[in-house]
Structure 1
Amino acid sequence: MKENVIYRPPKHRGVYLDPRTKVLFMFVLATLIFFVNKNLLMNSVLVLIPIVLLLSNHRYRPAFIYGGLFIIAILAKLLHGKLEFPYLLAMFLGLITELIFRFFPVFMFGYYIIKSTKPNEFISAMNLCHVPEAFIIPVSVVFRFIPTLGEESRSIGNAMRMREVRFGTPKFWKNPILILEYRVIPLMMSIAKIGEELSAAALSRGLGGLKKRSCLVELSFGIYDIGMAVITVLLIIWIIVGRM
C-alpha cells in the first residue's frame, strides 16, 4: 500500500519574479516613464526592461516585434530635425514614437505579468498584501480570460480560413462585410460566455467565500527580486540627478 505523499509546489526555474515585485515595478515604470521625455538614454533603458523580461520568459515574438518598433522610434527621434518629412508623415511618426516610448513599456510589462504569473500565484500575493477581494477576484478572472480569448480568436480564424473568408479571396471581394460579421459576432458571443464561465469557476474554487482560503503556493523574494529593487533605486536616483 502506497504511503501518502505530501504535495510540494514545483520550484521555479530561470528568471522568476515574485508577483508583488512585478506589480510594484509596473507602477514605478508607469510613473518614471513620464519624467524622462527629454533624455533618450534613460527612456531607452526603461523601454528595454520589458523587452529583456519578455525574452527571459521565452516570449520571443512580442519581444522582437516590440524591439523592432523601438528601433524605428529611436531612428525617428535621431532623425527628427535633420530630415524634412511631409506634415502628415511627420505627425504620424511623432505620434507612433511617443506611443512607443510612453505607453508601450507599461503595456508590454503588463503583458509580461499576465504571461508569466499564474492566477493562484497572483491571488496568494494579493492576499499577503491584504488587498480586498473586490479587486482580487476580477483581476484573477482577467488572468484566465485573456489567454482563453486568444484561443477562441484563433479558432474563429481557422474556421474562417476553412470557409475561405479572409482578405483577398473571392468571397471577400464579393462581400467584404463578411470578414467583420464572421469575426466580430462569434467573438462577442465568446466573450460573454467566457466571462460567465470563468466567474463561475472562480466562485466554485472558493473565491469570495467567507472563510480564509488556504494556498499551496509558496511565495518569497529571491535574488531576482533583489536585483529589480536595486535597478529601481538606481533608476530613481539617475532620474533625480538628471533633472537637477
Structure 2
Amino acid sequence: MHLDLRSKVAVFFSTVFLASVLSKDTVFFLLTVILLLYVAALGYSKSTVKIVLAITIISIMRLISKGNGFGVMLPEMFLFIVIRTLVIILSVIPIIKTPPGELMAVMKKMKVHRNIALPLIFMMRFFPVVRSEFSEIIDSLKLRGLISFRKPLITMEYLFVPMMFSSSKIAEELAAASEVRGISANGKHTSRREIKFRKFDFLVIILTVLLTVGLYFMEGVMMK
C-alpha cells in the first residue's frame, strides 16, 4: 500500500495537534492504536516494535506512580512529554521511509523552494545513516571493553569523538552522492512512482480530519 507524501504529512500534523491537546489517557491510547494500524497498513510494523515497547513501559510506569512520577529523576511531566513524543515519532516513520527521489519530486510539484527542500531531504537521509553508524560504534566499543558505567565521562569521550568525525564524513558523502544524482539540478525532477493524489489518499485525508475532530470532541466530553 502506497500513500502520497502529502497524505503522510497530513497525518503527522494531525498527530502533533492531538498529542498536544489530549490529556485523557483513554483518548490518547485510542490515538496510539489508530496510528499503529496506520503504520502497519503501510508495511512499517517492524519499525514500530521498539517504540511500542517504550510506550508500554512508560505507560506502566505512569500507572504505578499514579501520575506522581518517580521523584526528581523521572517526574510525571517528563514521562508525559516522552510518551507523546514517541507517538509523534510513530506518525513520522512513513515520512522518513519515503525514498529521497520521491521526496524531491513531491516538493518540486508543491513548488517548495530548493533552499527549503534540499536541507529537509538531507536531514531525513542523514539521521537513519547516523543511527546505524552510532550502533556500530557502540558494538565496537563493547568488543574492546571500553564502555564502563564507572567512568561515564571517559565513555562519552570514546563514544562521541568518533561519532562527530563519522557524522561529518557521512554528511559529505550524502551531499556528494546527491549532487552526482542531480538533486540540485534545474529542470523537472522525476520519480519512479507516479506523484499524484489517488482515491486512497483522499480517503486517508478525510479519515484523518474526521478522527482528529472526533478524538478532540471525545476529549471534551470526558473532561465534563
Kept in 1: contact 2:19–2:28 (CA 8 A): yes
TM-score after normalising by structure 2: 0.79
1:97-155 CA-to-partner distances (Å, cap 9, x unmatched) read 3431x3222223223421x2111111111112111111111111123212221232233
The answer for the alignment partner of 1:21 in structure 2 is 7
Classify 1:58/1:29 alpha carbon distance in 2 versus 1 (closer, same or farther; 3 Å). Answer: closer
Identity of aligned residues (%): 23
Q: Which structure's CA Rg is the greater one?
A: 1
* Equivalent residues in 2 for 1:66-145, closer than 5 Å: 66-75=51-60, 88=71, 92-100=75-83, 102-114=84-96, 116-145=97-126
The answer for the alignment partner of 1:167 in structure 2 is 148
- State the Cα distance separating 1:33 from its structure 2 match: 2.3
Q: In the aligned structure 2, how far is the partner of 1:36 from the partner of 1:86?
A: 19
Classify 1:200/1:184 alpha carbon distance in 2 versus 1 (closer, same or farther; 3 Å). Answer: same
Q: In the aligned structure 2, how far is the partner of 1:49 from the partner of 1:205?
A: 38
Query: Of 140, 154, 158, which residue of structure 1 is paired with 2:135?
Result: 154
| Greater relative contact order, per chain length (Cα 8 Å cut-off, separation 6+) | 2
Q: In the aligned structure 2, how far is the partner of 1:155 from the partner of 1:74?
A: 30
Equivalent position SS for 1:34: helix
More helix by percentage: 2
Tell me the amino acid that sits aligned with residue 181 of structure 1: E
Kept in 1: contact 2:68–2:75 (CA 8 A): no
The answer for the alignment partner of 1:202 in structure 2 is 178
- State the Cα distance separating 1:93 from its structure 2 match: 3.7
Q: In the aligned structure 1, how far is the partner of 2:67 from the partner of 2:19?
A: 28
Q: In the aligned structure 2, how far is the partner of 1:178 from the partner of 1:191?
A: 20
Deviates more, 1:227-236 or 1:137-146: 227-236
Kept in 2: contact 1:35–1:239 (CA 8 A): no
Kept in 2: contact 1:120–1:217 (CA 8 A): no
Deviates more, 1:140-149 or 1:89-98: 89-98
Classify 1:238/1:90 alpha carbon distance in 2 versus 1 (closer, same or farther; 3 Å). Answer: farther
- State the Cα distance separating 1:75 from its structure 2 match: 4.8
Deviates more, 1:120-129 or 1:175-184: 175-184
Kept in 2: contact 1:76–1:97 (CA 8 A): no
Q: In the aligned structure 2, how far is the partner of 1:200 from the partner of 1:231?
A: 40
Deviates more, 1:123-132 or 1:202-211: 202-211
Q: In the aligned structure 1, how far is the partner of 2:169 from the partner of 2:157?
A: 18
The answer for the alignment partner of 2:165 in structure 1 is 189
Kept in 1: contact 2:4–2:196 (CA 8 A): yes
The answer for the alignment partner of 2:31 in structure 1 is 46
Kept in 1: contact 2:126–2:170 (CA 8 A): yes
